[in-house]
Chains A and B, each alone.
Chain A
Amino acid sequence: MAHVPLTPLGRDLAAELESPSGQKATAAQMALEAKLEERRLKVEAGWGEKYKERVHQKGKLTSRERLELLKDEGTRLFEVGTFVNYGEHFGKLESPGAGVVTVFAKVNGLWTIVIANDNTVASGSWWPRSPEKIERAQEIALKLKLPVVYLVDCSGLYLPEQGRSFPGRSGAGHIFKKNSQLSAAGVPQIAGVFGDCIAGGGYMPIISDRVYMTEQAYMVIAGAALIKGAKSQHLSSLGIGGPEVHVHQSGCADVRVPNDEVALLRIRDEIKLCGSSSAPFYRGGADPLAPSFPASDLAGIVPADHRMTYAAEEVLARLVDGSLFWEILPERGREMLVGVGRVNGLYMGFVINRQGIVDDPEHHGQKKPAGILYKEGIAKTAAFSRACDADGIPIVWLQDVSGFDIGVEAERLGLLGYGSSLIYTNSTNDVPMFTVLLRKASGAGYYAMAGHPYEPVVQLSTPITRQAVMEGRTLAIAAFNTKLDDDFNIASDDPEECAKIEAGMRATEARIEADMDPYKAAAQMDTDEIVPLGDLRAWCEVFAETSYQALGTRRIKNPRIWSLHDVAALSAPRG
């Protein structure tokens, strides 16, 4: 079967979304998104105007100004790791974005990963988690074979916190291992050196294929101040490691350029030499087409209250081209919806949890709550995931899951085994996988649906995402289990003890609720980015275009020979 039988999905919800209840739901989401935007802008401002001016006074651009010049006009940057270290204090200082900006940027028509030290935050020095954030961006580039651009302007480790960023397995030195792995995998790396690049900052650009240095830039193993101390010599850092030395004498850099603007222009020229995207080829004659219904609807479709339901179909209808979709195995495991659609003309697999009530295949005629993983849905998802892997169809996992089914029947049916099968499948897939935590990402459901520990290329959260083993109330009951009777009432007659237990349970619940804050997860790098729901289509476009950009680096089967067709053929009812 050669044709991929996409059919229309979803419906126009304008009237529902305009109704008072629809407007209320949208307004609740918009309030959270306004907070997201406010916080994002705060990170973007770095240490603020004073430090921006300081950069300008040196005749340099800020890192974010450099990104604007580097990217193609009319395109937008897709940032990951915005909230790393968010809210965390190092002494009296904060480190917005961990002092480094990592983005997907389109440069001369090619998607690239750009890693830019934020020179408005402690001269671009590395804080705890700065190395991990840089390494994360390098990992993304390695998986997708995207060219990497380093905009280096880094005065080395932030030394007061060196104990947390120097020695570990993912300590600063691991950046250079990643540099090496990218190089070994044939991924182009281009560096622009724009300022102080001391110690680690000096090593970061060197493995790159092409290194540009501005007149304001120097790279040194140790800065002048340290040498003065150690060797009692009078030197300037620019004198010992500027372009005069590295371009003309040491060969540690390739090209000397007068300033930031010229460096960025030259880097754009380099990217032009890296070939063109293969995405138009893999579209197979199809055109990119917007979804029939706007992605902005999503803010009103997915309720912020995790106990309220919605139609998973309506979410997909706002992500795929023309709202056309092919659901695979639609009759089985109804709690899961899996299938294929195009995004910007490129085939992508989607897995999403249905919400509400679905048929229970184990008990004919009965219903059960969805948003949970049961035997058939897990089996279906594993078969779909493996078929996509075999066919080279990138997968987008859209999680809103409370976890696996539990209890006598669940164990008897062997959910541990089925779950492990799905985990094995996802762990050994080669195809690019992307995970979106729409709302709940709970328990082993978060793992089985390719959550962060399963190394998706990117994992996004929304302002209503809740990552946890279980909800706060459930955990409080579990923690105080021995103090409760069979009806979860406190099993004590002593009013004082009752009050103590009650207070303990409340405190536990409150702490767990706070831990589920997506900003906390993002600060700890337990998720890559927090995005507005209405932005998910744009992100899916980035996922699709980056997955299909590189030619000849991964298996991409044409639809005629998809294993998915076999899965569908075997599941079609006999005429």
Chain B
Amino acid sequence: MFHRLLIANRGEVAVRIARACRALDVTPIGVVSEADAGAAWTDVMEACVTLGPSAPAESYLQMERIVAAAKQNRCGAIHPGWGFLAENAVFAALCAQHGIVFVGPSPALMARMGLKSPAKAAMRAAGLPVIPGSDGPLASTDEAVRVAEDAGFPVLLKADAGGGGRGMRLCHSSEEVREAFPLAQAEALSSFGSASVYLEKYLTGGRHIEVQVLVDGFGHAIHLGERECSVQRRHQKLMEESPSPALTPDERAELGAMAAAASSAVGYVGAGTIEFLRSPDTESERGKLYFMEMNTRLQVEHPVSEAVSGIDLAAWQLRIAAGERLTLSQDDVKLTGHAIEARINAEDPELDFRPSPGKLHAFEFDLTAAGAGNGASLRLDSHLATGETVPPYYDSLIGKLIAHAPTREAAIAALDAGLAAAKIDGVASTIPLARAVLASDAFQSGNYDTSSIPGWPPAS
């Protein structure tokens, strides 16, 4: 195992990784921007290197400075956390080039999974169902029309190198494809530097279901069940739960086994997530699951899987990166109870989720709020405390509250109790939204999808 590891991230995830380091007797070294220098959360680090000014481009995205910091501090490995450089293949290659282990899969695999059509092709070859559409970038308008007609309308034209909804065009007919395809190509070229455009069937009202996998360097893969992440706003997840209310136990086992086998088949190593889109149920048949993308990193919502499996994902990430065998078999993974996570962002849900940075006059949680003797528990993942400041430069996540209980109903009750007991002053937070979701009929019934936020905005 590494003696010292540099955490190339900030805030909540940096603290989470540091905790895993301490558990394995690895010394965590931190990096900070000038805005984060001296923040209370940096106390968990053995030492911290200031990278540069507050803007991420000047600090947390400075690949060379981070590698230099790791070398100066004799770190054998770098954990990228999530966001920032976590899915940057060049950064992973740069680490390797300087003799530092990047905690994640190989640069080539990250690069492949970072592009939509190669990722789709690889996963189709590995046996996962993919959304009907083109195998890869489309060569011509005629080909686009033909593929669209095969897949069935409506279809979505997507830039291969795009993301976050950019570079997409919705088409309802062959005529629309004929018109939109050249425009999509031109737009993709000017926005992303690549004119590659592919096409897939557009599915409305689906559910976002993802499977957590762990794969070691020997090709042994297991899954930790799925997470339901359909409470979203503009593709940003707000709440996650495991298991998904939409899957039967047989479907769960089949999906998980498929995801684990596919991860191993493509040569994935470490903790990863395969995202699926589940099409809506119809009167005649149940919804189908289609591969969407693979996230080659630890994810924000990983505690939900940790809660139901009792497995420390971050610690396993480090052990696998250090070349250890994954000693857990699939049979060792016992998923118990139900877990729900609420992301708490410093945003004002009443004011169109406007970011709300500032000083925290109060930041208090009561982890006993779930009550005693009922099997329910609460976990808080946060880097903040009363008196600390939320800087305006970064992601607005200030904490995650995770409830675990024997049943879904009990988990909803425990999480709501925990949120009700939270006291946050100084910044606006998304706690009111999370509570509205938990209280909504749609969420409580388990029958919700990505098309709207259950219970929000509240009926006035």
Query: Residues of A at under 8 Å CB distance from B?
Result: 2-8, 12, 14, 18, 285-290, 292-294, 297, 321-324
**Residues of chain B contacted by A321 (CB below 8 angstroms):** 93
- B414 interface residue, CB < 8 Å from A? no
B107 touches A287 (CB 8 A): yes
Q: What are the 6 closest A-B residue pairs judged by CB atoms, nearest first?
A: A287-B108, A322-B90, A322-B93, A14-B193, A3-B99, A6-B97
- 15 residue pairs of the A-B complex, CB under 8 angstroms, read A3-B98, A7-B94, A8-B64, A14-B193, A285-B96, A286-B96, A287-B109, A289-B93, A289-B107, A290-B111, A293-B193, A297-B193, A322-B90, A322-B107, A324-B94
Contact of B89 among A18, A285, A322 (CB under 8 A): A322
**Residues of chain A contacted by B89 (CB below 8 angstroms):** 289, 322
**Residues of chain B contacted by A297 (CB below 8 angstroms):** 193
Min CB gap A30→B, angstroms: 14
A3 touches B93 (CB 8 A): no
- B440 interface residue, CB < 8 Å from A? no
Interface string of B308-347 (1 = CB under 8 A from A): 0000000000000000000000000000000000000000
- Per the bound structure, the CA–CA distance linking A286 and B111 in Å amounts to 13
Q: A287-B106, A287-B107, A289-B108 are in contact. Are A324 and B93 (CB under 8 A)?
A: yes
Min CB gap B214→A, angstroms: 21
Main secondary structure, interface of B, reads helix
**Residues of chain A contacted by B453 (CB below 8 angstroms):** none
A7 touches B108 (CB 8 A): no
Min CB gap B147→A, angstroms: 20
Min CB gap B112→A, angstroms: 10
A3 touches B90 (CB 8 A): no
**Residues of chain B contacted by A7 (CB below 8 angstroms):** 64, 94
Q: A292-B90, A294-B193, A294-B194 are in contact. Are A324 and B108 (CB under 8 A)?
A: no
**Residues of chain A contacted by B445 (CB below 8 angstroms):** none
- Per the bound structure, the CA–CA distance linking A525 and B98 in Å amounts to 43
A6 touches B99 (CB 8 A): no
Min CB gap A278→B, angstroms: 19
- B438 interface residue, CB < 8 Å from A? no
- B63 interface residue, CB < 8 Å from A? yes
Q: Which residue of B lies closest to A293 (CB)?
A: B193
- B374 interface residue, CB < 8 Å from A? no
The A-B contact count (CB < 8 A) is 52
Interface string of B77-113 (1 = CB under 8 A from A): 0000000000001100110111100000011110100
**Residues of chain B contacted by A292 (CB below 8 angstroms):** 90
A324 touches B97 (CB 8 A): yes
Min CB gap A8→B, angstroms: 6
B99 touches A324 (CB 8 A): no
Q: Which residue of A lies closest to B97 (CB)?
A: A6
- B248 interface residue, CB < 8 Å from A? no
**Residues of chain A contacted by B90 (CB below 8 angstroms):** 8, 289, 292, 322-324
Q: Which residue of A lies closest to B64 (CB)?
A: A7
Query: Residues of B at under 8 Å CB distance from A?
Result: 63-64, 89-90, 93-94, 96-99, 106-109, 111, 190, 193-194
A3 touches B97 (CB 8 A): yes
Min CB gap B2→A, angstroms: 17
B64 touches A288 (CB 8 A): no
B63 touches A8 (CB 8 A): yes
The listed residue with most A CB atoms (<10 A of its CB), out of B96, B97, B107, is B97
Contact of B93 among A2, A5, A12, A287 (CB under 8 A): A287
**Residues of chain A contacted by B190 (CB below 8 angstroms):** 14, 18
B193 touches A12 (CB 8 A): yes
**Residues of chain A contacted by B93 (CB below 8 angstroms):** 286-287, 289, 321-322, 324
Min CB gap A101→B, angstroms: 26
- Per the bound structure, the CA–CA distance linking A294 and B193 in Å amounts to 8
Min CB gap A506→B, angstroms: 43
A8 touches B107 (CB 8 A): no
- Per the bound structure, the CA–CA distance linking A290 and B63 in Å amounts to 18
- Per the bound structure, the CA–CA distance linking A6 and B98 in Å amounts to 8
Min CB gap B68→A, angstroms: 10
**Residues of chain A contacted by B99 (CB below 8 angstroms):** 2-3
Min CB gap B65→A, angstroms: 11
Min CB gap B196→A, angstroms: 11
**Residues of chain B contacted by A2 (CB below 8 angstroms):** 99
Contact of A8 among B94, B96, B109 (CB under 8 A): B94
Min CB gap B167→A, angstroms: 14
Known A2-B99, A287-B106, A322-B93; 14 more pairs at CB < 8 Å: A3-B97, A5-B97, A5-B98, A6-B97, A285-B96, A286-B93, A287-B107, A287-B109, A289-B107, A290-B111, A292-B90, A293-B193, A294-B193, A322-B107
Min CB gap A294→B, angstroms: 6
**Residues of chain B contacted by A12 (CB below 8 angstroms):** 193
Min CB gap B402→A, angstroms: 36
- Per the bound structure, the CA–CA distance linking A3 and B108 in Å amounts to 20
Min CB gap A380→B, angstroms: 23
- Per the bound structure, the CA–CA distance linking A294 and B93 in Å amounts to 18
Q: Which residue of A lies closest to B93 (CB)?
A: A322
**Residues of chain B contacted by A289 (CB below 8 angstroms):** 89-90, 93, 107-108, 111
A288 touches B108 (CB 8 A): yes
- Per the bound structure, the CA–CA distance linking A5 and B96 in Å amounts to 10
Q: A289-B111, A322-B90 are in contact. Are A4 and B97 (CB under 8 A)?
A: yes
Q: Which residue of A lies closest to B192 (CB)?
A: A14
Min CB gap A95→B, angstroms: 34
Min CB gap A375→B, angstroms: 32
Min CB gap B185→A, angstroms: 14
- Per the bound structure, the CA–CA distance linking A289 and B106 in Å amounts to 10
- Per the bound structure, the CA–CA distance linking A288 and B107 in Å amounts to 8
- Per the bound structure, the CA–CA distance linking A573 and B89 in Å amounts to 31
- Per the bound structure, the CA–CA distance linking A292 and B194 in Å amounts to 12
**Residues of chain B contacted by A290 (CB below 8 angstroms):** 111
- Per the bound structure, the CA–CA distance linking A6 and B94 in Å amounts to 7
- Per the bound structure, the CA–CA distance linking A323 and B193 in Å amounts to 16
- Per the bound structure, the CA–CA distance linking A332 and B96 in Å amounts to 28
- Per the bound structure, the CA–CA distance linking A290 and B89 in Å amounts to 10
- Per the bound structure, the CA–CA distance linking A292 and B98 in Å amounts to 18
- Per the bound structure, the CA–CA distance linking A294 and B96 in Å amounts to 22
- Per the bound structure, the CA–CA distance linking A321 and B93 in Å amounts to 9
Q: Which residue of A lies closest to B195 (CB)?
A: A296
**Residues of chain B contacted by A293 (CB below 8 angstroms):** 193
Min CB gap B75→A, angstroms: 14
Min CB gap A64→B, angstroms: 22
Min CB gap A289→B, angstroms: 5
- Per the bound structure, the CA–CA distance linking A294 and B192 in Å amounts to 11
- Per the bound structure, the CA–CA distance linking A287 and B105 in Å amounts to 11
- Per the bound structure, the CA–CA distance linking A573 and B96 in Å amounts to 26
Q: A7-B64, A287-B106, A290-B111 are in contact. Are A322 and B193 (CB under 8 A)?
A: no
**Residues of chain A contacted by B109 (CB below 8 angstroms):** 287
